[in-house]
Amino acid sequence: MSETTSYGGQAVLEGVMMRGARTMAVAVRHPDGHVVIETEPLDSRLYTGPISRIPLVRGALRLWDTLRLGMKALGTSAEVAAGEEAQLSNAAISVTMVIGIAGGIGLFVLLPALLTDLISAYVPHEWMKSLVEGIVRLLLVVGYVWAVGLVPDIKRVYAYHGAEHKAVNALEAGAELTVEQVRPFSTAHRRCGTALLLTVAVLAIVVFAPLSGLPAVWRIVSRIALLPFLAGISYEFIRFTARFADVGLVRVLTAPNLALQRLTTREPDDSMVEVAIAALKAVLKAEAPAPAEATA
């Protein structure tokens, strides 16, 4: 494994999407029992080009691309899991992304700001408004993750999420990618998207604090405008803490992120681990150096 490549992905319906430096792979369990694997190249500009070396910018752009890839992977998994052969168009993916992002902004950006306004008369200082808004946002994030996890189908997705983490943890530990070797690893991982979500919510308290005195409309506009910046610094934080995971202070800082993953992961069964391994192996195979040609 390359020292500079960070492998990761997400759970999908009855499967796992894995992403490397140049390739994405989706592995899904078909209703008849076999595993369907699809791969596609990543945008080299974001993952190996000059943009990948620009702090803050790379985080915001990769987050957008991760959303795009995630929507596409979910569409693929839904089709395979249903035993159908259809494909989402780019237009359908774009519309779904816009709706999802709008819903996320409404729930985690606008609603906390509006709820804070309702009790603003009881908050004596402007900086405290930002703190209250941040606490409301954190409660909404945790509450949403917990509530969604109660849905039976999502419980299976969370189990595949745990399988994804186990496979990546095993790879990073140098273990053989077999069900027996992968099974003992943790279902938590420091670069998880759940960790990014919580980091954004916490850092938003600090970033939004100087703007708490703005009129309500401009305060909301400023929060939406600063989302790419928040995504960028949150990505850099996750990247930094993953690199220095064994440092005592870093362990303390990342403890809440790992704790939240208890809500977004479940212990997978062996068939789920098998699917996660299949997706990861597909990425590794696609990104393996080509064998040197024999010369006379």
The domain limits of the chain are: 8-287
- Dist. CA 141–CA 138, nearest whole Å: 5
Per-residue pLDDT of 259-284, as tens digits, reads: 889 999 999 999 999 999 999 999 99
Contact 77, 12 (CB under 8 A): yes
Per-residue pLDDT of 160-192, as tens digits, reads: 999 999 999 999 999 999 999 999 999 999 888
**Does the predicted TM-score (pTM) go above 0.85?**
no
Q: How would residue 1 be classed by pLDDT, with cut points 50, 70 and 90?
A: very low
pLDDT of 78 = 83
Element housing 25 (H / E): strand 23-29
Say what percent of the chain tops pLDDT 70: 90
pLDDT of 2 = 40
Percentage helix, strand, coil for the chain under 3-state DSSP, each rounded to 5: 65, 10, 25
> How many H-runs (helices) and E-runs (strands) does the chain carry?
12, 4
Mean pLDDT of 3-29: 87
Per-residue pLDDT of 242-258, as tens digits, reads: 888 888 888 898 888 88
How is the beta sheet containing 8-12 ordered, strand by strand?
8-12, 15-19, 23-29, 35-41
Contact 169, 186 (CB under 8 A): yes
Angle between helices 193-208 and 248-264 (to 10 degrees): 120
pLDDT of 165 = 96
Contact 38, 79 (CB under 8 A): no
**Position 218 pLDDT exceeds 50:** yes
Token pair of 76, please?
Answer: 């693929």
pLDDT of 89 = 56
Residue 18's nearest CA partner among 77, 60, 59 is 77
